[in-house]
Amino acid sequence: MEQLKLFARMLRGSLSDLAPIIAVIAFFQIFILQQMPDDPVSIATGLFIVAVGLALFIQGLEVGIFPVGENLAQEFAKKGSALWLLLFAFLIGFSTTIAEPALIAIADKAAVISEGKIDAMLLRLTVALSVGSAIALGTFRILTGHPIHFYIITGYVIVVVLTFFVPPEIVGLAYDSGGVTTSTVTVPLVAALGVGLASSIRGRNPVIDGFGLIAFASLTPMIFVQVYGLIEYAVGGKEIIEAMAQSVAVEVEHSRTVAQHAWALVLELADVIKDVTPILVVIFFFQYAIIKKQVPNLPRIVFGIVLVILGLYAFIVGLEMGLFPIGETMALQLTERDNQLLIYLFAFLIGFSTTMAEPALLAIAHKVQDISAGKINQLVLRIAVALGVAIGIALGAYRIVAGDPIHYYIIAGYTIVIILTWLAPRYIIPIAYDSGGVTTSTVTVPLVAALGLGLATNIEGRSPLIDGFGLIAFASLFPMITVMAYGVITEYGVKRASSKPKEEEI
């Protein structure tokens, strides 16, 4: 009965979170495009399934994933073994990335095009190693108590410097790679690990020190992919990059057709289970083989994991039934109308509405509000992040229409991030850095990728290879700016309010 009440509450919240997406689609269909969708019943059904999936997913996280992640972190802290903890962090990052379906598709395609010159498994290992190393490095930072901005700013400098040496064909793809490596299941588990560890170590603050692991996992792939592109392009890797672009295009097309085939539902569930399995193997191996303790409340944890799997499965099926087809069709219709302002408005609104419904952001925002004792409001945080994504995608769409090189925009954005890092309160900085990773997940990435490739394909003089990628990078960058700006404004308001009585006394 308690779980049913919790689900009902989560479902109400999910429906309200999806309301902005429905409003954007209805507005454009009725007032701008003046066309009815081909299958409104299927779309409505798909959106309702998305809401159910979101509710199950968040409930499963709270019941299963968050408790087991925090418990493991606390046990590692009690055990006092930094080596085992760093190994666990590495394997969590590595195991979730090596099984990423998009990465597998790209690696296999690269191997075929290069006639075996590029080994698919070696390419996947390279990317997985970058994420594993990132989470281990972030865990090391929590253990040592080092300020996160020294690490992140150094990483951004490396990314920017490499940009001037990397061929233009690889730049957008490299920037985008930082957003697609943090999956919907990985983000909450990694956040739980960081918060649990920071809560267990004396002298650490869960808000200041507990967040930031996702930022590391979003940063290092950009560096690794740029270096990989430098090496491969120098020896004829242009074909490899083109293969990656074709693979993404195939994935976008796949999202259009999968909802039409009932047999694909079973494959979707198998894919979700396959994505979650490596994480569960790592968790239970360390729980029983290293810590050598039973999992507390094991039936409840298993129940939560099942809810996560079912929720994520329903969420993906609902997206493919309801959101993807209409989103991609509308992007094509807008480019055909030759009205640039409509394109920017659609990009802004779809960025905002999809981010407000993003499962990973929902999970992180609730966790931030809990551990900050309400100092950071989850709704305000989500709005700040969603505004950042909306501005980023709209600006990214403008870049594609204008045909400007991406790196000037990204370098300017990183410069603003660095300046705000020194102005923002310490408690908001790790959360701001993490916000760039949690926005580019299950909902946002496919729609944004389809929009970017659609614009670059349909606008004369643009190349899908050079211009089509990069929107995900914009969606990752600008939330960091808006969240830190939110922290600066909030802190200024607090200081002003505290100084007001003194002014009145004078």
Q: Phi-psi bin for 39: left (phi > 0), alpha (psi -120 to 50), beta?
A: beta
Mean pLDDT within 187-201: 81
Contact partners, residue 157, CB within 8 Å, separation at least 6: none
Mean pLDDT within 488-499: 80
Amino acid at site 4: L
Extract the tokens encoding 122.
């070696």
Within 13 Å, how many C-alpha atoms sit on residue 250's CB side?
12
What would the pLDDT profile of 433-455 be if each residue is shown by its tens digit? 888 777 765 556 666 776 777 78
Distance CA 63, CA 67 (A): 7
- What angle, rounded to 10 degrees, do the helices at 2-27 and 324-336 form? 20
Extract the tokens encoding 147.
């300020």
Distance CA 475, CA 149 (A): 20
Helix ranges, 114-167 (H): 120-144, 148-163
What would the pLDDT profile of 119-138 be if each residue is shown by its tens digit? 667 777 777 889 899 999 99
Q: Has residue 234 got a pLDDT over 70?
A: no
Identify which of 6-20, 148-162, 182-196, 244-258 has the greatest average pLDDT. 148-162
Listed residue (100, 119, 97) closest to 108, CA to CA: 119
Q: Among 89-98, 199-208, 315-324, 412-421, whose mean pLDDT is lowest?
A: 315-324
Q: How many residues does the chain have?
A: 506
Would you say 274 and 181 are in contact if contact means Cβ atoms under 8 Å apart? Answer: no
Extract the tokens encoding 378.
């989850």
Binned at pLDDT 50, 70 and 90, residue 9 comes out as: confident
Contact partners, residue 121, CB within 8 Å, separation at least 6: 107
Residue found by looking up tokens 């309160």 in the block: 425
Instruction: Spell out the domain ranges in the chain.
Output: 2-501
Binned at pLDDT 50, 70 and 90, residue 158 comes out as: very high
Task: Report the pLDDT value the prediction gives residue 175, as an integer from 0 to 100.
Answer: 77
Binned at pLDDT 50, 70 and 90, residue 506 comes out as: very low
Instruction: Calculate what percentage of the chain has a pLDDT beyond 90.
Output: 11
Q: Provide the whole-model pTM.
A: 0.74
**Averaged pLDDT of the chain:** 79
